[in-house]
Copies of this chain bind each other. A is one copy, B any other.
């Protein structure tokens, strides 16, 4: 497949090139990253976002550190401090640090992490497409597409493969306030791929479920605990509860880098709270009176009991199968 969506993260001529996702869909602009501090800031400010893409960016951040002669473990700490929730970031820097420790080539390891992520996402698409019936109406939340990974996506990969198979899926796209990754990014990807869809307010998902308008839900994940509890973009928990209430299967698509062997349950997953301005403003305008305050948790935890299955590169797994499949830790200290 020739992907029409540009790469979120790539390596070119000794630097990392990030597509600035804050400007999409209206503007396609790239940022060149040549320092660890620059990469940490780009991750924190969400120039690059989406758990696997953050992982790949962080892996390349380690390669930048190495080529700049920085201390590798200090670079890892700086990258880890950028955003707390997505496990892939930690998986990536640990993997590169482990290769470095045994004298491996740091850049090669970063490239290998990117290649593994791409391959995993493709496998997720192949496994996941089997779960999508002909003509199915699929709800997704946030953006777990090519922009959140490198090629294919996680939640969008099965939809993309089903589309290529001629299954004609229709996608309901939650706009995903407060940062509108659904309306800005997922819709843009689906437009580029020619996949039929409608954007809805996050408030409307339950309505369409209750009226029989949605056949299944697929989201990505930022970190998955060993009992199957899963952290993802704020609002995912709401959609999962509503799906179960309406008898609709709810799937979480993620590569192995998102699973956290050191988190027994969702209670062990750190939840980032971001700035109030993301809620108080929208589209460049203030939506609230002067002086009003907001709360802005960026993620929530969906307990395993709401999740029908995980779509991974190792196959489709029940929550009860997570621990024996992903329960090992490679952290280097």
Contacts and interface: CB of A to CB of B under 8 A. Distances in A.
Contacts of A203: 176-178, 202, 233-235, 238, 300
Q: Number of copies of this chain in the oligomer? A: 2
B235 A279 contact: no
A233 B276 CA distance: 24
Nearest to A284: B285
A297 B297 CA distance: 26
A233 to B, nearest CB: 8
A314 to B, nearest CB: 29
Contacts of A286: 26, 283
A294 B187 CA distance: 10
Nearest to A189: B289
Interface stretch (A83-91, A98-106, A205-213, A324-332): A205-213
Contact of A199 (B176, B187, B279, B301): B279
Interface string A265-307: 0000001000000011111111111111111110011000000
Contacts of A279: 175, 183, 199-201
Contacts of A245: 241, 245
Which 8 A-B pairs rank lowest in CB-CB distance, beginning with the nearest?
Answer: A203-B235, A283-B285, A283-B283, A25-B289, A206-B238, A207-B300, A282-B282, A282-B283
Interface of A: 25-26, 172, 175-178, 180, 183-184, 187-188, 191, 197-208, 210, 233-235, 237-238, 241-242, 245, 271, 279-297, 300-301
Given A25-B288, A183-B287, A205-B238, 17 more contacts: A26-B286, A175-B279, A184-B289, A197-B293, A199-B279, A199-B294, A201-B202, A201-B296, A204-B295, A204-B296, A204-B297, A206-B237, A242-B242, A282-B282, A282-B287, A284-B284, A285-B285
